[in-house]
Structure 1
Amino acid sequence: MATGLNPSEKTFRRAETRTWLRILGLHGRIFSALNRSLNATLGLSLAKFDVLAQLDQHPEGITLGLLSERLQVTGGNVSGLVQRLLADDLIVKQMSETDRRSFLVRLSPKGERVFREACEIHRAKLEELFAKVPDEELDDAFAILTSIGRHVQEGLNG
């Protein structure tokens, strides 16, 4: 029995594709809203916020290589972000005491203050975006996405 669907429509209707597109679309909308909110109030992009969040978890400092790994972006991306954050006086860069060939970056006092403000803006925006979603649905979505993430990781591991 013919379905009347062309091959691209059949692909689109696959659960995996529909789920991926839904996740991607939702991520894009939330990312944009958070980015706009942080930029409007602090002049801080979400990418810079992510760097500050990583540095907040490493008060002793972190190498650019490890920062790149944690953020899952290229070294070039991290280097550009670090240069902009240095120019904004939000981070400081120092030579590693254990390896003179590498540098550590950490939050500056100004960076710590800005990051705390940014966390509050980030939290408030997420609260606003998810305000109409019942807690039970959020709990269910979290459980389902956790399960999907586990299965995807198993697939990536072979």
Structure 2
Amino acid sequence: MADEPTRHPLLGRSSRSRRRELRVWLSMLSLHGEIFTRLNRALSSACGLSIAKFDVLAQLDRCPGGMTLGQLSQRLKVTGGNVSGLVRRLVADGLITREMSSTDRRSFVVDLTSAGKTVFDQACIVHQAELEACFKSIPTRELDAVLHALDRLNGILPGGR
């Protein structure tokens, strides 16, 4: 009937199932926050980089010859405004260049400088060491199982890998 209220898709499910999903979500958020904080602290202390700056350098390292600000924004999954500020700071730090595109004068191309490549290579060592410290007490088999479950979620959800 037209006057009958529509039911929310979760209302028919057990509260135990909904609590489990909420616990998974909250566990992922908590873990992300803890690892993010540890990585940010380690990178800042050892290399003077925030995790956000590291992520920009990582994307540029994967793309020799540079990329446009729009491409960088897409790869980082952030807004153009966020990228512009990061790029401005990294240019000021001498770690990247920002030049007008030779093919499209409306866009800019950013690329690593040699100093940026050196700092990024050092930061990768710090990043890997911190990740190893975070996960050292978890057996490889368990990490593989977690990775498998996360890969499944990424494949199921819209916008996943």
- What TM-score results when the alignment is normalised by the length of structure 1? 0.88
- Equivalent in 148, 152, 155 of residue 147 of structure 1: 152
Aligned length: 146
Correspondence for 2:84: 79
Contact 1:11 1:17 in 2 (8 A): no
Deviations 1:103-153 (A, max 9, x none): 100000000000000000000100111100000000111111111221223
**d(CA) in 1 for partners of 2:105 and 2:16?**
53
- Displacement, 1:61? 1.1
The one-letter amino acid paired with 1:29 is: E
Correspondence for 2:25: 20
**d(CA) in 2 for partners of 1:75 and 1:133?**
38
Q: Does 1:48 align with 2:53?
A: yes
- Displacement, 1:13? 5.5
- Equivalent in 127, 131, 142 of residue 132 of structure 2: 127
Percent identity of equivalent pairs = 54
User: Greater helix share, 1 or 2?
Assistant: 1
- Equivalent in 106, 110, 118 of residue 113 of structure 1: 118
- Displacement, 1:43? 1.0
- Equivalent in 21, 36, 39 of residue 34 of structure 1: 39
Contact 1:12 1:18 in 2 (8 A): no
- Equivalent in 80, 91, 99 of residue 94 of structure 1: 99
- Equivalent in 66, 71, 81 of residue 71 of structure 2: 66
Report the RMSD for the aligned CA atoms in angstroms. Answer: 1.6
Correspondence for 2:10: none
**d(CA) in 1 for partners of 2:78 and 2:17?**
29
Correspondence for 1:7: none
CA gap of 1:108–1:137, structure 2 versus 1, over 3 A, is same
- Displacement, 1:11? 8.2
- What TM-score results when the alignment is normalised by the length of structure 2? 0.86
